[in-house]
Amino acid sequence: MTQIIEHDTHIARPPFQASERLAAHLQQLSVDLIDLHVQGKQAHWNVVGLNFRDLHLALDEVVDSAREFSDTVAERMRAVYITPDGRARTVAAQSSLPEYPAGEVNTAETVDLMTQALYATCGTARRIHDEVDAEDPTTADIIHAILERLEQLAWMIDSENRVANRSVPRPVHA
């Protein structure tokens, strides 16, 4: 016979528990990453035009990275006793990314829109970084990895529309 044990109270004593400010910062990053994932799929399904196949495949990289990072952030939130909210309604209400258009979008516009979405997500990560680092350097390390990959993807996708030595921002020559 199986015995069921009920607890009136459970007490854990973690060495660290997040503040409300850290929770708000990580929630914002979480919803931006979820929205980036969804926008990447929307773009992936509806991109048309020149260089379609390469961009279609590159968008899969954005989607995979955003999905993985959103899970990493949500699991980190749980590890420091924050309850993430990734419901569609919450993401729509809280995302700082510009809305992605419905319907077919040509490749050049898709490049610009996805670059904008990637940089918006990176902007959130950079905006919250220092306060996160001051409270929890371990979580800041996760943000570093997110920034490294998303800025790389933004550069790669944006390069589809750049014109050598004429696009802005201009490269810094070392």
Model confidence band, residue 153 (pLDDT cutoffs 50, 70, 90): very high
Give the mean model confidence (pLDDT) for residues 150-164. 96
Q: Cβ contacts of residue 101 below 8 Å, gap of 6+? A: 113
Q: CA-CA distance, 174 to 155, in Å (whole number)? A: 18
Check residue 80 and give its pLDDT.
95
Q: Which of 115, 86, 88, 89 is nearest to 100 (CA)?
A: 115
pLDDT, mean of residues 139-160: 98
Helix then strand count (H, E) for the chain reads 5, 2
What is the C-alpha separation between 136 and 129, in angstroms, rounded? 10
Burial 41-53 (b: 16+ CB within 10 A, else e): bbbbeebeeeeee
Residue 123 scores a pLDDT above 80? yes
Q: What is the pLDDT of residue 142?
A: 98
Whether 65 shows a pLDDT value over 80: the answer reads yes
pLDDT confidence bin for 1, thresholds 50/70/90:
low
To the nearest whole number, what is the mean pLDDT of the chain?
Answer: 95
Q: Quick one: pLDDT band at residue 11, thresholds 50, 70, 90?
A: confident
What is the dihedral angle through the alpha carbons of 24, 29, 31, 33, rounded to the nearest 10 degrees? -170
Q: What is the mean pLDDT of residues 123-132?
A: 98
Cα-Cα-Cα-Cα dihedral sign, residues 115, 34, 124, 172: negative
Say what the pLDDT of residue 170 is.
Answer: 87
